Structure 1
């Protein structure tokens, strides 16, 4: 069911509207393999990064997202968790040690099945737009799987939806 929801949202409902409103542009899609596994390693400026990147990439992207998105309380928490599951996002326990290793193994499973794995090496959104030191998760996945890493630079998403802002500002991305 999640793949149908993902496709419908990307191609019919959300995708066309977001492309019209925000006019995102992409450079370098020719570096993305047409099939087979790869890691999309991106900076992380805004909550909306996980919406705009898959929107612009022709293949489905599975993201490792912080586990807290999947454990919220009340109706809002349940709807958030459902949305994240239906849009190909997997919980990532960022507490370290065995918990983080188990979460990375879920990402390795995506790669073993030939999928695209989106990951933010910094582990969280940048509070000020600067690039910070990445965690070792991407390196571990690459060493274990041998898949290519496609670097991604998100530009302007922090202006569209700054940290703490629920509704985005309508402006061009890029």
Structure 2
């Protein structure tokens, strides 16, 4: 069975990477939820909601930690805009590996949810084959879609087709 694709417009993708870099300031992790629409196996990213917009203390420890009060705010945004959470993205200081904390604490614990990890606090060029890309399958288990396989799942284009 083919994996679902997650499509970003080039503008949204580049803007997201710049915001993650800016919010992390090269000193701590930053993250966001990717909101959009789904049709079959095609997911289309429409906007990002950054963790510190939902919880001002999300980066206080140096890693991304959301207080439970952040999620009702996220669900309200989804409801008002008619969107769904398609993925979450967060940065790491070095390589884009899935830490034990990431594995044990999915931001959205729903089968099929995608988690993207961006290396080097999103500083410098972001190559999709260097991202960590993981699909949640349930019970704290994930499928690793990182490396070159990520390019066939995470699509960035000038327009949606």
Fold shared per TM-score above 0.5: no
Say which one has the larger Rg.
1
Normalising by structure 2, report the TM-score.
0.35
Greater helix share, structure number: 1
Structure of higher RCO (CA pairs closer than 8 Å, 6+ residues apart): 1
Q: If each structure's strand is expressed as a fraction of its own residues, which one has the higher value?
A: 2
Compute the TM-score of the two structures, normalised by the length of structure 1.
Answer: 0.33
